[in-house]
Amino acid sequence: MVLTYYLLLRSIFRAIPHLRRCLKRCRHCGIFFLTDPRNAWRKAGHEIDRRKDLRCPFGCSEAHCKEQSTRRSVAYYQSEEGKKKKRDLNQRRRRPIAPKPPKQEGEAPSQAVACPWPEPVVEHVRVVVGLIEGRQVSREEILEMLAKVLRQQGTARRRKIDHAVSWLHENPP
């Protein structure tokens, strides 16, 4: 998959050479990725200035945010203020919970549209497609495009057994 990804990047740079300045390397995993032109000045090396760290949208950025959140939380709950708050939270947890009021008849159930792709990946695809097409691209356009493209059969020939296995993975019994 990574090889295919890099081949696509090369073909994009042949067609649109000015996008090469948006090519950055992830500080965490080292993969190359296209960033927003507003981040093109930033570097992803191991400099001392932490503001110049870029992480890819394929999970490294999200993992770093979770890691930093855990560090802040641990530091807070080890302080006196945090220990006191944790004691209060634990005391409240032992009390019985009041029942929720019944739903009104006129209320419609909330219908949140579930996205089958991670949000950072959808946003990254939106930025990259916008760079390639040279225009603003909406999230809805990207979701439609992803659904259409990923619904199509691949162009590479596969053995019958490989096709059957991938179909079973997508449609388990």
What total of structural domains would you count in the chain? 1
**Residues 134 and 163 sit within 8 Å (Cβ to Cβ):** no
pTM value is: 0.48
Whether 41 maps to a domain, the answer reads no
Residues 33-45 pLDDT 10s:
888 888 777 765 4
What pLDDT digit, counting tens, does each position of 126-135 carry? Answer: 988 898 888 8
Q: What domain range is 84 assigned to?
A: 60-94
| Residue 31: inside a domain | no
Residue 73 lies in a domain: yes
84 in a structural domain: yes
The pLDDT, as a whole number, for residue 149 is 79
* Whole-angstrom distance, CA of residue 76 vs CA of residue 82: 5
Q: CA 125 to CA 108: how far, in whole Å?
A: 33
Instruction: For residue 23, list its beta bridge partners.
Output: 34
